[in-house]
């Protein structure tokens, strides 16, 4: 591989990784809730239109890509107590903590 191609691949990878959620988007499971029954995304696709493949950013690190429903934010809370959990459309779907 030439150095130009390596450089281009490195730049693309840096851009992709920088687009992911940041520490401001970290969440935790609400008291009394669980993530039981949520499966990993097979091949980044989920069975059924009601499921979305997304990673969750916890205070201890990222989850693997998980198949979640649109009500996942009912089970989670943002670490920054002034923010609320929201799913953003995209490929992949992203879970973010935003100011209300």
Q: Is 64:55 a contact under the CB 8 Å cutoff?
A: yes
Q: What are 35-52's pLDDT values in tens digits?
A: 999 999 987 788 888 898
Q: What is the pLDDT of residues 4-21, one digit of tens each?
A: 444 333 333 334 444 545
Q: Sign of torsion, CA 59 54 96 83?
A: negative
Alpha carbon distance 48, 69 (integer Å) = 10
pTM of the predicted model, to two decimals? 0.71
């Amino acid at each position: 591989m030439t150095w130009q191609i390596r450089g281009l691949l490195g730049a693309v990878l840096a851009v992709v990784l920088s687009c992911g959620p940041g520490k401001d988007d970290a969440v935790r499971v609400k008291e009394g809730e669980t993530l039981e029954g949520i499966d990993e995304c097979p091949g980044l696709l989920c069975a059924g239109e009601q499921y979305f493949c997304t990673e969750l950013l916890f205070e201890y690190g990222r989850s693997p890509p998980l198949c979640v429903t649109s009500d996942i934010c009912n089970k989670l809370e943002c670490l920054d107590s002034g923010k609320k959990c929201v799913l953003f459309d995209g490929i992949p779907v992203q879970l973010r903590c935003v100011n209300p």
